[in-house]
Structure 1
Amino acid sequence: MGKIYLVRHGQASFGTSNYDRLSELGKEQGRLLGKWLGETGQQFHTIVTGDMQRHRETAEACASMLPDGAAPPRAAWLVDAGFNEYDHEEVLQRHRPDFVDPIAVKQFLAEGDDAKRVFQRMFEEAMSRWMSGQHDDEYREPWPVFRERVLAALRRLLDAAGASQNILVFTSGGTIATLCQHLLGLGERQMAELNWTLVNAAVTKLLYRPGRVTLSYMNSYAHLEMLGEKHSITYR
């Protein structure tokens, strides 16, 4: 039986002009993941990333801590943009046009803890708007198109995979939640709720054999808890 480990990227640079790059904590989260995977004795036949900067940087941080021979060399990694995240900035801005400037978002969040809760509610509303099907013509990638893109990426991966390979995929929270939604037969609301719970650099494991894929576990981040520091667990 083959195994696919879906890794959410480390903490990105939320509220800056380039969200896509990892923060210093995000890089450390990637290294902690690599250390944990190395200590479990895992051997990976394939490494796949989306083509986003935060995917690549998380993969590089993780791989830097793996033992020699535990994974293919950097030049052999595969890139599949099908594992990219949805455009969270567009999803938010269609609901709140005043947030077109990321600095405005950062300033809003700096107003206090209540502002963070209000922002979370706003983003949930923005997601509901995107997934409702009532405004598809306003988005470059409507929800049904995003969902099919993600599922197609999984199908390509399975078509190319050997029967019992260990595969490491560096991707994003919305992508992972969408795959889990499909495997568990959940609705759109449940997908969004799963998305909010996914921790940066957490691992979701799938098992596959010909004609079948199942969810083994989801959102494991014990490797981050080993630090014993509250700040090591992040969600953006």
Structure 2
Amino acid sequence: MGQIYLVRHGQASFGSANYDQLSDLGMEQARLLGEWFANSRQKFNRVVTGSLKRHRQTADACLAQLPKAHRIDTDWVTDPGFDEYDHHEVMVRHRPEFEDPEEVKRFLASSPQAKYAFQDIFQAAMSRWMSGQYDGDYREPWPAFQARCVGALQRLVEGADKSQNIIVFTSGGTISTICQHLLGLSDRQVAELNWTLVNCAMTKLFYQPGRVSLSYLNNYAHLEWLGQPESITYR
């Protein structure tokens, strides 16, 4: 039986002009995950990343912590099927004024409770995207994103030997959608799950011919052991 580790990227630069860049904390989260793998003597037969910069940065910082004997010598595989949905487009179709990153900054700085209000707005934007009523407004409608994520998982399993350890550096929406496929979750449940996934947390799958199953979800014990709550982030 093979194993697939789906790793959500480390904390990105939320609220900046370029979200697709790990923060300093995001780099540290990835390094701590790598130390966890090194201490558990984990080896990987394949490394897969989405095509986003934050995916590759997380992979580089994480796997640099492994002993040389445990590192992958071959080229890593990049599969855009594991990319995140377009957060920006989902938001601005609901709130066009947030097209300007500076407007987002002003909103977040407007009050101590602004981040919670922003989350409510984004949840409403997600509901609009997932409703199926406005598919023509989006370059990638929700059903297309679902199909892309499931297709990436299927390609991964079909191209793997039956007992490989594979690590995939991807995003929270992708992981949530794959879990929806495996567990039969509703769209509402997958949206709620997405909010709970921790940066640099692991979700582990087992696979064998014709079957993929969930072993565990959103494991971030490698961050908890520090006893520093600020190391655990969701955005």
TM-score where L is the length of structure 1: 0.98
| 3-state secondary structure, aligned to 1:217 | strand
What secondary structure sits across from 1:76 in the alignment?
coil
* 3-state secondary structure, aligned to 2:234: coil
- Aligned AA (2:45): H
1:99-154 Cα shifts (integer Å, max 9, x gaps): 01122112211223321111111100000000000000000000000110111100
Q: Confirm whether residue 141 of structure 1 aligns to residue 140 of structure 2.
A: yes
Q: How far does the alpha carbon of each residue in 1:21-73 deviate from its partner, in whole angstroms, 9 at most, with x for none?
A: 10011000000000001111111000000000000000000011111122313
Between the aligned residues of both structures, percent identity stands at: 63
Give SS of 2:5's match: strand
Residue 31 of structure 2: aligned partner: 31
Kindly report which structure 2 residues correspond to 1:1-236, keeping only aligned pairs within 5 A, or say none.
1-73=1-73, 75-236=74-235
Note if contact 1:84-1:171 (Cα within 8 Å) is conserved in structure 2: yes
> Is the Cα–Cα contact under 8 Å of residues 11 and 22 in structure 1 kept in the other structure?
yes
Please give the per-residue CA displacement for 1:137-177, whole angstroms capped at 9, x wherever unaligned.
Answer: 00000000011011110011011101000000000000000
Q: Distance between the aligned counterparts of 2:226 and 2:25, measured in 1?
A: 12
CA distance in 1, matches of 2:197, 2:41: 25
Superposed CA RMSD: 0.9
Aligned length: 235
CA shift, 1:224, in A, is 0.8
Does the Cα contact within 8 Å between 1:46 and 1:71 map onto a contact in 2? Answer: no
Amino acid at match of 1:42: Q
Q: Report the more deviating stretch, 97-106 or 136-145.
A: 97-106
Structure 2 CA distance for aligned equivalents of residues 227 and 57 of structure 1: 22
Cα distance in 2 for partners of 1:144, 1:60 equals 31
After superposition, give the CA deviation of every residue in 1:72-115 in whole Å (9 maximum; x if it has no partner): 13x51100000000000000000000101122112211223321
Matches of 1:69 and 1:112, distance apart in 2: 51
Amino acid in structure 2 at the alignment position of 1:72: I
Q: In the alignment, residue 123 of structure 2 is paired with which amino acid? A: E
What is the alpha-carbon distance in structure 1 between the residues aligned to residue 219 and residue 112 of structure 2?
Answer: 26
Q: Which runs of 5+ in 2 are unaligned?
A: none
Contact 1:47 1:71 in 2 (8 A): no
Q: Write out the 4+ residue segments of structure 1 that deviate beyond 6 Å after TM superposition.
A: none
Q: 1:44 touches 1:165 (CA, 8 Å); kept in 2?
A: yes
Secondary structure of 1:201 counterpart: coil
